[in-house]
Amino acid sequence: MLATALASTALLVGCATTSSGAVNTMAPGMSMPGTSASPIPQSSSAGSGGAGPSAASQMICGTETRDNITRALALATPPHSVDSWITRQYTCKYHLTDGEFVISVQESSDAAAARSYFDTMQETLAPVQPIEGLANLGLPAYETTDGVVVFVKDNMTLQVDASKLTDKVGPHGVTRTAFSYQVATAILGCWTEH
């Protein structure tokens, strides 16, 4: 299954940076020009964790991820998305013709807390299969058969969930899990670069 994802990852492009080398991301709650998403206010619930998500977390709803999804699925226009920041979790929901595609990042206080969150999610999502070898990019990772892929890096847990999409996704007919893996590894590649 991951062989298909690895081969298809070539459809996804690298990370954009500004001239200063910083990650080029959009502010939370903002939408790309030409999309139907409207800015939404950020949640300010107690314990939401500071002023907002980190630049790395914001990438899940940023230009690169939106463009990668558009290319991978051969969409005519970028997908509509809605984001939120609640209890230190930044979530981006992409509304696609075939269903909702959700990417989230839980920002923990440190790497140990992130690993604990990752392990708890594993129990909640069970049964899961570990992603091993080169496919895990040297990070703890697992996947489900219905389209969820989870990685933990430093203090952040990345979850990519295509479980609400059709069984085969995009013009190449990859599985939901393979599509989630494609998107997750493109995001992780950008996190590694910066």
Checking if the pLDDT of 7 tops 80, the result is no
pLDDT in tens, 177-190: 999 999 999 999 88
Per mean pLDDT, which range of 9-13, 26-30, 58-62 is the poorest? 26-30
pLDDT at 187: 95
Checking if the pLDDT of 83 tops 90, the result is yes
Q: Residue 6's CB: how many other CB atoms inside 10 A? A: 15
pLDDT at 15: 65
Cis peptide before 33 (omega within 30 of 0): no
Q: Residue 151, SS3?
A: strand
Nearest to 161 by CA among 114, 99, 79: 99
Residue 4 — very low, low, confident or very high, per pLDDT cuts 50/70/90?
A: very low
Mean pLDDT over 37-65 rounds to 66
pLDDT at 82: 97
pLDDT at 19: 30
Q: Amino acid letter at 163?
A: S
**CA 2: distance to chain centroid?**
17
Checking if the pLDDT of 62 tops 50, the result is yes
Q: Which range among 8-17, 148-157, 164-173 has the greatest average pLDDT?
A: 148-157
Q: Are 25 and 58 within 8 A, CB to CB?
A: yes
* CA atoms of 32 and 63, how far apart (whole Å): 7
Residue 50 — very low, low, confident or very high, per pLDDT cuts 50/70/90?
A: low
Query: Where do the domains of the chain lie, and which CATH numbers do they carry?
Result: 2-6+54-193 (3.40.1000)
Checking if the pLDDT of 147 tops 70, the result is yes
Of the chain, the percentage scoring pLDDT greater than 70 comes to: 73
